[in-house]
Homo-oligomer: A and B are copies of this chain.
Amino acid sequence: MNGVEDLPVTVVEKHAHAWSPRTARTRFREGLTGPTAGVAAGHTQVNLIAVPADWAYDMLLFCQRNPKPCPVLDVTDAGDIRTVLADGADLRTDLPRYRVWRDGELVAEPTDVRAHWRADLVSFLIGCSFTFEWALTDAGVPMRHVEQGRNVPMYVTDRPCRPAGRLHGPLVVSMRPVPPGRLSAAIRETSLLPAVHGGPVHCGDPTGLGIADLGRPDFGDPVTADADDIPVFWACGVTPQAAVLASRPPFAITHAPGQMFLTDARDEQYRVA
């Protein structure tokens, strides 16, 4: 394996699917950045949201009450930079890119948050739809955004999440175009992965979720679909970020959309049968 100094630092490399999670975390720690779809095949990627301890109960309850967008895979003790999901990882440095929020406003998008870290931060690691992309690929469902080298498109919907304490906000979804002949497989395979958003929340007409234009996602990139493809929408782990935006906690750190934390867990651990 070459040293990270040889790597481009703005996009993830073509062969990143073969990296170990530890290699991916090291590359990101050293400054590599970009969407992580397709990185470290078969290993579970997670969303990060860290909030001050006095907001942790509201966040955990928000996740419990909205399990499809917010399946919690680990919660750290306050101030802890480690997680049981990734041996030797540092949550402050090992993601490709972060977002730092004050009073619900995005104030920075650094590749390292050591300068922003606080001893009272509780980190939530939340299941990510990138996890089930391998199951979809194995089931013959094309991953258009991966084929096209783009970040998955994500949309804010008109469906409110169930509020919890001071936290409220809309459901956010990711969208993948699915050929009609693979729709059944796509639904079946993802339903068996409830810890990473489970089955779709909606298929077909995007206006059913209040989405006016698939070509203008709220996060990520637009993706080109085949003429017959059906847009399929899964609950998305960016939902807690939308709650931060809507609810304005005094401080939060999240991953940048599509730029996830790579854990040592294997996707099949989250498969129920």
- Count of identical protomers in the assembly: 2
Chain B positions within 8 Å of A203 at CB level:
none
Q: Which of B61, B64, B75, B194 contacts A272 (CB 8 A)?
A: B194
Instruction: Decide if A273 touches B75 in the complex (CB within 8 Å).
Output: no
Check if A56 is an interface residue, CB within 8 A of chain B.
yes
A56–B164 Cα distance when bound, in Å, is 13
Check if A146 is an interface residue, CB within 8 A of chain B.
no
Report the nearest B residue to A58, measured CB to CB: B57
Chain B positions within 8 Å of A65 at CB level:
75
Chain B positions within 8 Å of A23 at CB level:
none
Chain B positions within 8 Å of A214 at CB level:
none
Instruction: Decide if A272 touches B198 in the complex (CB within 8 Å).
Output: yes
Contact A64 to B75, CB < 8 A, known contacts A191-B272, A192-B273, A272-B192? yes
A272–B199 Cα distance when bound, in Å, is 8
Check if A60 is an interface residue, CB within 8 A of chain B.
yes
Q: In whole Å, how far is A75's beta carbon from the nearest beta carbon of chain B?
A: 6
Instruction: Decide if A188 touches B273 in the complex (CB within 8 Å).
Output: yes
Q: In whole Å, how far is A18's beta carbon from the nearest beta carbon of chain B?
A: 30
Check if A72 is an interface residue, CB within 8 A of chain B.
yes
Q: What string of 1s and 0s marks CB contacts (under 8 Å) between A186-218 and chain B? A: 001001101100110000000000000000000
For the A-B complex with A194-B195, A194-B272 known, give 12 more contacts whose Cβ atoms are closer than 8 Å.
Answer: A57-B57, A57-B60, A60-B61, A60-B64, A61-B75, A64-B64, A64-B72, A64-B75, A192-B273, A194-B194, A199-B272, A273-B273
Shortest 8 CB-CB distances between A and B: which pairs? A57-B57, A191-B273, A60-B60, A194-B272, A64-B72, A191-B272, A272-B272, A192-B273
